[in-house]
Amino acid sequence: MEKNIYTRRANYYETDMMGIVHHSNHIRYFEEARIFFMRNIGCDVMEMEQQGIIIPNVDAYARYHSPIRFDEEVDITVKLSKFTGAIMEFKYEAYLKTTGQLAATGHTQHCFVGSNFKPMSLKRKYPDYYEKLKANISV
């Protein structure tokens, strides 16, 4: 299993009256893929939160290319495209597993804050996490 490919099957309750996955669920799929990626590189989000690192989403975008229908599987590629220690940005591409057709693309941007919700520098406070993320940047 690759660290940057997350496979997801569309659930019935995620579809709309047209029988396709509702647009709002793509952002959820991206979030699942990001959490999967971060866990696989040694930056488990749950562990980070337990240590006082909160990673709010400050920007999210999705572009829809072809519909995903109930019970279809999608492979979502995740790339950490930008990382400064204070912010990070991920890019996503979702492909229908059976055909390889591009279903959606998007990005999310995040910052790091402490439990007081004030911005923090990951490099200064948590250098181990900083190094793991820095080592996984791909453009």
Q: Check if 128 is active-site.
A: no
* One-character DSSP codes across 32-73: HHHHHHHHHTT--HHHHHHTT-B--EEEEEEEE-S--BTT-E
DSSP 8-state code for residue 113: B
Under 8 Å between Cβ of 37 and 108: no
Q: How many CB atoms lie within 10 A of CB 109?
A: 16
Q: Cβ-count burial of 90 within 10 angstroms (0-12 exposed, 13-18 middle, 19+ buried)?
A: buried
* Catalytic annotation, residues: 16
